[in-house]
Structure formats: C-alpha cells, structure tokens
Amino acid sequence: MTENIPIVNGTSLYTVRTYSSKDYESTIDFYLTLFQLNKDSSANNATFLSNDSNTVSIKIVFEGEDPVKQAKCDETYQDLLSIRDTKDWRTSTKESFVLNTSNIKTFLDILLARYPDLKFQGYPSDLFPMELYTLDPNGNLVGVSNTKNAISTKPTGPPTSAGNTNNVAKFTDNKLSSIGSASNLISKHQSLTSDVFPYLPLSSTGDDSSRKAIAVMTSGGDAPGMNSNVRAIVRTALFRGCRAYAVMEGYTGLVEGGPEYIKQMSWDDVRDWSSQGGTNIGTARCKEFRTREGRLLGALHLIEAGVDALIVCGGDGSLTGADLFRHEWPSLIKELLDTNRITSSQYKTYQHLNICGTVGSIDNDMATTDATIGAYSSLDRICTAIDYIESTAFSHSRAFVVEVMGRNCGWLALMAGIATSADYILIPEKPASSRDWQDQMCDIVAKHRNRGKRTTIVIVAEGAISADLTPIKAEDVKEVLVDRLHLDTRVTILGHVQRGGTPVAFDRILATLQGVEAVDAVLESTPQTPSPLIAINENQIHRKSLVESVKLTKDVAAAIQAKDFKKAMSLRDTEFIEHLNNFMAINSADHNKPNLPHDKRLRLAIVNIGAPAGGMNSAVYSMATYCMSQGHKPYAIYNGWTGLTRHESVRSLNWLDMIGWQSRGGSEIGTNRTTPEEADIGMIAYYFQKYQFDGLIIVGGFEAFVSLHQLERARDNYPAFRIPMVLIPATLSNNVPGSEYSLGSDTALNSLMEYCDVIKQSASSTRDRAFVVEVQGGNSGYLASLTSMAVGAQVSYVPEEGISLEQLQQDIKTMREYFELSKGRNRFGRLILKSINASKVFTAEHLSDVITEEAEGEFDCKGAVPGHVQQGELPSPIDRTRGTRLAIRAVNFIENNQDVIAEARSDNYCYDPDDIALHATASVLGIKGSHVVLTSINQLYDFEAEISKRMPKFIHWTKTRIIADHLVGRKKL
C-alpha cells in the first residue's frame, strides 16, 4: 500500500507500507539497490532512504504482522505479473512512483545486471523505452522516465552539472536533481563498472604490488582460440585493476619459474592475438609437475611472482593438475614456510590460490559444456578437407576413408559426418563387433551406390574401436571397401592440419567470453568456492564445477575401457546423443523400411523465405531425408510464395537429387522476400488444400517471421492453414524474434571476419592507416558487434546506438592517441565497423573522409565495402549441423501437434481465434539462453517484435558489445 505527498513537478516523499517482516526487509533492499539510495535512519519500524542531495526520500514502514493485508499485497503482485505480456501495467494500477533519468539505457543495464529475472515493461517499446516500469516486492508500480514530465514525449537532456566530467548518466527525480555523483554511482556498482561504464584507464594508479595478480597458462595440446582466451584474460585483468601474468610453456613454466617463464603482461603485449592460431605463450607436457616436488616449485615461483590466482586453458589432464595444485596449496606453502623458502609475510599473504579452468581442446571431450575452445575450428578444417575430397571422389567415382582426431571422443567424426553427408562414421562411443560394423557399413554404402551415388566418404575417429576394444584404423576400413565392394578406395589422414590455422569466429568469441568470465570468477571466488570451469550451453556462458566436469569426462573413457558403451553414451551430453540419432536417421533416408505406420505418415512442405543464408540447404536436406526415414512425404515449395502462386512450384524431394546439398551455400530451392499477402494468400491456401499438406516448415529471416504470422492469422478464413507450422530462423542479421541464433549468421561472421583480417593486414602494413568496413544486417547490430569482438575492431557503430558526433569525436581522439603512441610499430592497423543503417548520413566513404580530416595527420582512413560477400560461400559447420538439428526438431513438432490440430481441420469446426492451444501450433523454433525453445508466433509478433524496425524488442548481444569495447580500450560516452 502506498501514500504519495505530491508537489509541483514531482514527488518529495514516497511512503511504502509493509505487513510482514520479510517483506519489510526485501522492500528496503529493493529500493536501496534500484535507485542507489542511502539508508538515513531506522526507528520505530520505519526506515528512511534518500539520495545524496536529499531531493528524493522514501520511507519504508512496517505496520506489524498482518497476514490479511500481506496476502492482498501478494495477490496484487502476482496479478500484475500474470498480465505483464498482455496488458499495460499503468492502466491496471491506481498509482505509481516515477523518477526521471537522463539515460534510461544505463538504468536498464543496472537493473538487468542486478536482477536478471526481474520482469519489466518499457514504453513505447522495450527496445527503445522512454519509460520503464517494474514491481517492488509489495506489488507497487515503480518506474523511471527520460521525459521531462509524465505526459511529455521529449527526452531530458544530459546532465549539465559541473561535476559530471565523465559524461556518466545520473539518475534524477522529477525536479531534475541529481541522485548521486558519478563517482558514488561507480563505487556502489563496483562489480558492474565494466558493464555499465566500459572505460579503460590508459595508465594504472596506486601501488602496483598492492593490486591482485592473475596469471594465465595454456597447457596440453594447442587449440585455435587459445590466443583469444589469453588476450581476453590479460586485458580483462588489467581492466579490473589487477596485474596480469602469463605462465610460458605450460606447467614447465611453473616449475622453472623466474620472469622468463612467469612474465608480467601489458595491454599491448596481446595486441592482435585473436586472429592467430596455436598459443603464443607456449604449451608443453611436464612430467616434473606430476610430482609433489614439481608442484612445490610451482607454488614457490607463483609466490615469488606475487600471483594470487591462476587460470588454466587446457584439456581434462591440464585441469586435473590445476585442481590438484589448488587442493595441495595449503600444505605446499606450509612446507615452503617450514623450510624457510618463503617468509611468514608471504605465507600470510598467499594463504589461498584461486583456480579457474577454460577448456581448450579440439576434441570437444569435456563433459558439462557443449563446445570447447578450438573444436569448431578443427571441425571447419575437417569439413573443408572433405569438401575438397568430395570433388575428386566424384570425378573418379572413388571411395575415401578420412581419419580425424578425437582421442576417446567421436564428436569431430560425428559432426563432420552430418556436415558433409558422409556415408558412414566410426566412433568410440558406439562400437560394434568386427563383423557387425563391416556388414553395416557395406550395406549402407552399397545402397547409396545402387541408387546412383558416385562418391563414398567414410569418416574414422582416431579412437574408433570394435566392441572387443580392437582399434579400427583407416587402412582396415579401406580393405573392407576394396575386398567386399570392389571400390577404388583412398585413405586420407588429416593429422595436425586439424589443429592449425586461425580460429573461426565462434572460437574467437567463445574464448573471449570465457576469458572475461574466468577473470570475474577468480575475483569473486573465496577459499571455500570450488574451482570453477567456464562452460557454454547452447548460447549461454555458465560456471560449472571443474572437479565434477573432469570426473564425468574421465568416466566416459573408463566406461569405454570397461566395455560399458551404454554408460559411455549416457555420460555424453544430450546434444551429442541427439546428433548421433539425427545422423543415423538422415543417413538411412528412403533406403530402409519407414519407422512410422501408414496412418501416421504425413505430407510436409518446406519453403525458404528472405535472403539466402548458410544452412538453408542443410535444413531442407535434413528435413527431407528425415521425413523419408519416418515415412512422410517431403515437398519443396520452390522460389518462395511467388513461385507457388505464379507457377505452382511444388515438387516432391528425391534423395539422389539432394546429394551434396549439406555442403552448398545459398538456397537450392530458391528464395525471395515476398510475403503471403503480397503474393496472394488465397492462392496459397488453394495449393495447400490441393496438395493436402499436413505441416509446413518455413526457413528464413524476418519476412519468414511475418509470413508465419500472416498464415496463422488467416486460419479463420482458410482452413488449409490449420496445420502445424514452424519457422526455423535463417538470416545473417540474426534479427528474428524468439531466437538468439539464426542459420547463416555464423557463416556470415566467418566471411566478414576473414575479410576484416585481410583488410587489417593491409592497414598494419601501411602502419598509419585505419579502415571503415561497412557491415550488412539492416537494423540489427548483431553482425557488426560479434565481428568486432572476433577481429578486435577499435570501434563498431550499430543502428541500436547510431553515430553521435560526440562519440565519433571521442573515437577519433582515442585512435589519434593510439597512432601517436605506436610510432610506426608493426601490426598496428585499426578497424572501424559500421552497420549500414547505423547512420543515414555517414556512408563508409563519408565516415572515412571525416576521420581522415579530423586525424590531424596522425593517420588516414579508407572505406571498404564487402557487400554480399558477407552472405558467405560454403556454409560453416555450425550452420550445417544446427540446420540439421533444427530441421529434425521442426518435423518432430509437426508430428507431435497433429492431434492438437485435428479438430480444427474438420469441416464443422467453429474456429476460435483466441484458442491458446491452436496458437501454439504455429511457432518459432529458436535458441534462447541455454535452451532450444518453441514460442507461438502470436506471442512473439504481438509482444516481442518491433515490426516497423524488423527487430526483436529484446537485444541479447548488448553485453557482447560492452565486452568488445572494453577489450580494445574504447571510451564510451
């Protein structure tokens, strides 16, 4: 219950009444945190909160325990939460408490950082809000506005007080008075400083020895992306005010010690490391560290260097050693003290060693994480090699046996098998007897050959075994193919080429995000905190238990050695098992008896809508072949909705005609941007009815999103659309609501990254040059933001932020200072990424001219426009394999919703447009956080989409931009 005492143009006192002690405490904490207030006093069951200038005061009153009134408050809170997505809170409450802020974006960043699950409403939209509302624990509506008053639509200007020298946003009440100085706000959000105020000081202050020291080490086999991980750790440590060290040559560096092996790192030491393969700080396997004496020397040398925390990037063996090192640390330093090798002061200072692990391994064999640093780069090398091999195999109608790395894990072989449509794979997790695997392989290859396929590709993991643990080598497979099928067969062992080369975009970004999280993890760790391992699940970075992750990983190898292959498979993550089942399903296509009985078999259509995107062909191929294995009849609608309405371009899909589609870019069935209403929705309904489609899969971008909504909305008039319909997002812009990932975005990232690497090399060679690269993406800054992180661009301008003259001036000033300090050093080229729609005035050429003019002769700037090169050529392995995964999920969705939609398809059904169950049969299949989710098109279109801007309301890559900025030292205004 609230009580307001209004004054002109604002509220001087706001009183909140609570009716339980628990609610009283949580309400105090809420307002302290949300508005950054101070607790003035507490007396007689009342607490007074105010800002530094005493212009805003809040009184929290505890009226005593009153269950009836408390229940009413709780009911109000839950009622408002339940209508959050359907009704405006402002129309559902009698009163609200609103303060003004000059920068609502900064306020939202703080709000989400402290309360990531807190519900809020933004007006006029969540994407570009001028007002932002949330609920306090008592059910009261609380908000901030950047308008001058409650009915104005004109935002307030930035604070102009003399104390605001850093251009940091200040929160103000309705009288536009300051809630706190910039320095106070920063001190109260010390843990959020980098997220809210991305600024890197050019010089350190204070006693260097008093600052926390964080060391990073790479160990075990090298993996592409390790350098990105080291760069992120070093620069984030410096950004957080710590000293940064690199332990050279892995654990050998700990044993050897000294400044040669435990080297203090500066900001500039890791410049341009993201684009380099391998590990620049070296790695080695160290027998000495496996002994206690070796670990004792490691402890001594870390203490001598003054290191407080150690981050290890490596595989399970390296991380096991790291955790053992931490476990023994108390006894190690006690022994060092007892033998007078360290002083009592050092013993007291270095009582604890915090350890964190980031997984660098091309094998992708670590449990609890979907991907390890380097795995997708290695997979990219394998797929590229097999694509090349496929060409020569086709020419001679040959068979090729390709051996890939992976040790005890068959992930590389499995994913390569899916991405290249290999005929057969041999992996350690699913062995068979020598006779069984030979019979099975020959049966599948013979069926493929009999149906007209000219090539045969068999992929063998280096750890492949038969059921009796006998190793299966590439030569063994070759002999079987030659002896039993009489195929002209060659063997290719890819070897260490799989480890080499520059990392792909995914590994650069993954390694960077994990490096930043690792530094945060060790800074937040206590002596009681278990050693964390930084993992990724779907699209979300997580901290997992290092000990538990390593144990599960070792359990897989132990289960295989014990011939308990069922257990070994169960210990792999569910995504691995899903991929294996997918491979077997699409590989059988129409060669075996269908899985489903006749009454369950469906007629399914697939159509591509929007611009071409990598992975579209993979989705079509996988959908069709999976349908064949189930017994469904797959159809393709060629050339989008216009192809259907003008030419009745519906064709059933044939397995032989689709051979090689997995590896092809673009769209083999054609695509365009026309929506159903533009093409003639009535004619589309006619053809749907003519072909009696039981389900529809749409693959495409924002036009596909609009198409699904139009078809769902037309169900009332056209019963032909009362079928399950699902959208698989596919667009390089990654702007489809309901998903944080779209097919084609990874291919586009890689293409743009490679282009930028070449441009940056040119800029570095000239020594005093920067390039402005124009990036596609429409109103979405995803491609520019992620590429900026992958290539280490100095600046990226995106439509969500625009290009302000003040920020442009600051960016030019920063670059001018950098070039002045560089003094012509090597590898000092600078990149500026600009989304096409970031500015209607500045093209790449215009922007480069302005920068050159303002650079005062320190450097010049050129424009570069990659254009449609950004759509990519061959789809990346990520887009290929995710295309397969999402396509099969889409078919399953259509199968599972046949009963739900059955009644609505009957002739005498009275269509109910508000039926929630029917709405759910038209959904978007996307990835949100750590989950693959289905969300109804109605929910997304009405509440989560900015249709006029062709954008989702919720921008998931904002934090990525902040991290990219602080890793290059960009100063944001």
Q: Is 865 annotated as a binding residue?
A: no
CB of 234 closer than 8 Å to CB of 265:
yes
Q: Is 701 annotated as a binding residue?
A: no
Q: Is 210 annotated as a binding residue?
A: no
Q: Is 406 annotated as a binding residue?
A: yes
Q: Is 405 annotated as a binding residue?
A: yes
Q: Is 316 annotated as a binding residue?
A: yes
Q: Is 315 annotated as a binding residue?
A: yes
Token duo for residue 87: 């009704």
Pairing of strands 951-952, 540-545: unpaired
858-867: b (≥16 Cβ within 10 Å) or e: bbbbbbbbbe
Residue at 106: amino acid letter? T
399-438: b (≥16 Cβ within 10 Å) or e: bbbbbbbbbbbbbbbbbbbbbbbbbbbbbbbbbbeeeebb
C-alpha to C-alpha distance for 641 and 674, rounded to whole angstroms: 7
Q: Is 407 annotated as a binding residue?
A: yes
Q: Is 203 annotated as a binding residue?
A: no
Q: Is 398 annotated as a binding residue?
A: yes
Q: Is 868 annotated as a binding residue?
A: yes
The total number of residues shown for the chain amounts to 973
Q: Is 361 annotated as a binding residue?
A: yes
Q: Is 965 annotated as a binding residue?
A: no
Q: For residue 672, what is the DSSP state? A: B
Q: Is 950 annotated as a binding residue?
A: yes
Q: Is 499 annotated as a binding residue?
A: yes
Q: Is 869 annotated as a binding residue?
A: yes
Q: Is 871 annotated as a binding residue?
A: yes
Nearest in space to 277 (alpha carbons), one of 502, 499, 507 = 502
CB of 777 closer than 8 Å to CB of 835:
yes
Q: Is 545 annotated as a binding residue?
A: no
Q: For residue 465, what is the DSSP state? A: B
Q: How many CB atoms lie within 10 A of CB 396?
A: 11
C-alpha to C-alpha distance for 415 and 376, rounded to whole angstroms: 10
C-alpha to C-alpha distance for 671 and 608, rounded to whole angstroms: 5
Query: Which is the catalytic residue, given 173, 363, 380, 879?
Result: 363
CB of 246 closer than 8 Å to CB of 530:
no
Q: Which stretches of 360-462 are assigned E, i.e. beta strand?
A: 399-404, 424-426, 456-461
Q: Is 670 annotated as a binding residue?
A: no
Q: Is 498 annotated as a binding residue?
A: yes
SS (H, E, C) 516-567: HHHHHHHHHCCCCCCCEEEEEECCEEEEEEHHHHHHHHHHHHHHHHCCCHHH
Q: Is 363 annotated as a binding residue?
A: yes
Can 849 be counted among the known catalytic residues?
A: no
Question: In whole angstroms, how large is the CA radius of gyration of the chain?
Answer: 30
Helical (H) or strand (E) element with 182: helix 182-188
Q: For residue 846, what is the DSSP state? A: H
CB of 772 closer than 8 Å to CB of 834:
yes
Q: Is 313 annotated as a binding residue?
A: no
Nearest in space to 61 (alpha carbons), one of 47, 74, 40 = 47
Q: Is 264 annotated as a binding residue?
A: no
Q: Is 200 annotated as a binding residue?
A: no
Q: Is 561 annotated as a binding residue?
A: no
**Which residues are annotated binding-site positions for Mg(2+)?**
316
**Which residues are annotated binding-site positions for substrate?**
361-363, 398, 405-407, 462, 490, 496-499
Active centre residues (catalytic): 363
**Which residues are annotated binding-site positions for ATP?**
221, 285-286, 315-318
**Which residues are annotated binding-site positions?**
221, 285-286, 315-318, 361-363, 398, 405-407, 462, 490, 496-499, 673, 731-735, 769, 776-778, 862, 868-871, 950
**Which residues are annotated binding-site positions for beta-D-fructose 2,6-bisphosphate?**
673, 731-735, 769, 776-778, 862, 868-871, 950
